[in-house]
Structure 1
Amino acid sequence: MQLTSAAAATLFLGRALASPVDIEERQSCPEIHVFGARETTVSPGLGTARVVVNLVLNAYPGSTSEAIDYPACGGQASCGGASYGESALQGTAAAAAAVNAYHTKCPNSILVVVGYSQGAQIFDNSICGGGDTNIGLSDTAVPIEASALSKLAAAIFMGNPRHIVGLPYNVGTCQASGFAPRPAGFECPSASKIQSYCDEADPYCCKGSDQATHQGYGTEYGQAAFTFIQEKIAAMGTGGETSPTLSSAESKTSTPASPKTDTGKTDTGKTDAGTVARYEQCGGSGWTGATACVSPYTCKTVSTWYHQCL
């Protein structure tokens, strides 16, 4: 079929105008993108979910991350006064919207989510559906689109208030329910993608009374969670260049040469004697390890129980 000069010109112009946008979007989409959701009352950002998020970023050069934008509140003035139920309800919608929007923009990117405490609850709700009567969520549909879930490699829940005994993805010592439990017999359609960490001393995902346990999952289970994520990503056809660890500065033997961080900066990962590497724990309630960070980083308070070199 012969194209007229006008038609050919129109076709050429359309391609010329479309190509830069298509190329730019392809170039801006990473192979792996990680979502993090923080715990209650923690300032906007990744919160303690950052521990696992950064392990992924360091292991897969070019990977990116984003924090779910939601109140993370439980009625406190410091986080805007939203009740826990209001916050978790908003967070569930925000988590689903963020994952769906990112998948629309970058349909080929592999996705990972890491939720801590209330952040775990909102990812649980958005990935598994089933509603959440604890916060007034009556819709039982899974709000994340099926196509987006097909690109989800792994979901990490830490200190999830929705914990119940008997779920196939439970990890830890808890044999009781959290304060916002799933109903008995619940089954998550994406169970094979999840690991949920909860120990018996935790007062939020279990029936314990030790706040430090609730805040310590990054240190206690961070490496195990990262290994699970690596396995799931590998199953989807890609692999990282390094395998960073969560060991303390005293026992650390090697670190990635130039890890990718969520700020776009690089770090040698080297430590001086008696100092703590970037992203490692440097303080918090009950912490007995080193508190000085390798230069130029400083020990920042993530929460009462977890301080981190940033």
Structure 2
Amino acid sequence: MVIIRPRGPLLSATLIAALAMLAATTLTTVGAPTAAAAGCADIHVVAARGTNEPGGAWSKFKLGTVVGNPVYSAIADTLDVSTNAYRVDYPASFDQPASVQAGNRDLVEHVVAQADACPDQRFVLLGYSQGANVVDNSLGFSSEGAKVGGPIVATVPNALEPRIAAVLLFGNPIRELGKEITGTYAERTFDVCNDNDPVCDPKGTDWNVHTRYARHATAAAEFVAARI
């Protein structure tokens, strides 16, 4: 796993806070896939935005103004293969654990449907803040106890694990708990936590830092390029 703890000056930004406590829920399995498949590109980026993060009207896929859009743009510009993207359909709200679990369920259902529709397609899973919790849960790493987190409700099937080319996590709340992606996905995971980000840094106090992840877009795209 690549875990980045950048240091240095950061620009000021509008506050994006992500605070929520958790309630327990029962683990369920995914039923028949309901997510509509997108077109069959070589690489399909599945992005879960952060809490209350705007999608961004200027972006074709509206993946998120803070992370999703700039990172996808960098990926599309860097790779020599075709790409497209899907924005996880979930509230990205403070209503926890319902919101993160809705994202968890939709991400898994979409990947299953997309994999069936496009047998040669590979995936990049991208998550920012609460969206990182969505990705964590979907890979079997519970975000319960983390900010805007909750128990797992669905996981990507083991049969699709080889088709997950990369996992990109920004401001990942489980980092504050001392947790990270381990095991089979570890070497495919790019996990960045800005110093002093209170969502992922246990000692973090500056909420403005949580909005400054676009500067890692090029590094994330290069990480993906090295793994396809």
TM-superposed deviation, 1:105: 0.9
Give the 3-state SS of the residue equivalent to 1:66 in structure 2. strand
Give the distance between the partners of 1:69 and 1:121, measured in 2 at CA. 14
Match of 1:58 in 2: 77
TM-superposed deviation, 1:37: 1.1
Match of 2:118 in 1: 106
After superposition, what is the alpha-carbon deviation per residue over 1:231-265, rounded to whole angstroms, capped at 9, x for unaligned? 011xxxxxxxxxxxxxxxxxxxxxxxxxxxxxxxx
Give the distance between the partners of 1:114 and 1:89, measured in 2 at CA. 16
Give the distance between the partners of 2:214 and 2:135, measured in 1 at CA. 17
Match of 2:27 in 1: none
Match of 2:151 in 1: 137
Identity %, equivalent residues: 29
Give the 3-state SS of the residue equivalent to 2:93 in structure 1. coil
* Amino acid of the structure 1 residue aligned with 2:44: H
Which structure has the greater CA radius of gyration?
1
After superposition, what is the alpha-carbon deviation per residue over 1:109-138, rounded to whole angstroms, capped at 9, x for unaligned? 1211211111111101112x0434334526
TM-superposed deviation, 1:51: 1.1
| Change beyond 3 A, Cα 1:131–1:54 | same
Match of 1:223 in 2: 218
Match of 1:73 in 2: 93
- Segments of structure 1 that go 5 or more residues without pairing to the other structure are 1-27, 75-82, 164-176, 234-310
Count of matched residue pairs: 177
Match of 2:52 in 1: 41
Give the 3-state SS of the residue equivalent to 1:150 in structure 2. helix
2:126–2:168 Cα contact (<8 Å) kept: yes
Match of 1:291 in 2: none
User: Which has the larger displacement, 42-51 or 221-230?
Assistant: 42-51
- Segments of structure 2 that go 5 or more residues without pairing to the other structure are 1-38, 56-61
* From 133, 136, 155, the counterpart of 1:124: 136
Give the 3-state SS of the residue equivalent to 1:189 in structure 2. helix
Match of 1:210 in 2: 206
Give the distance between the partners of 1:187 and 1:34, measured in 2 at CA. 21
* Amino acid of the structure 1 residue aligned with 2:87: A
| Change beyond 3 A, Cα 1:96–1:107 | same
After superposition, what is the alpha-carbon deviation per residue over 1:3-55, rounded to whole angstroms, capped at 9, x for unaligned? xxxxxxxxxxxxxxxxxxxxxxxxx5211111111110123531122111111
| Change beyond 3 A, Cα 1:97–1:138 | closer
TM-score where L is the length of structure 2: 0.71
1:110–1:151 Cα contact (<8 Å) kept: yes
Give the distance between the partners of 1:150 and 1:158, measured in 2 at CA. 22
Give the 3-state SS of the residue equivalent to 2:125 in structure 1. strand
Matches within 5 A, 1:1-310: 28-44=39-55, 45-47=62-64, 48-60=67-79, 62-74=82-94, 83-127=95-139, 129-134=140-145, 135-137=149-151, 143-163=155-175, 177-178=176-177, 182=179, 187-206=182-201, 207-219=203-215, 221-233=216-228
TM-superposed deviation, 1:212: 2.2
1:30–1:62 Cα contact (<8 Å) kept: yes
TM-score where L is the length of structure 1: 0.53
User: Which has the larger displacement, 207-216 or 63-72?
Assistant: 207-216
Give the 3-state SS of the residue equivalent to 2:195 in structure 1. coil
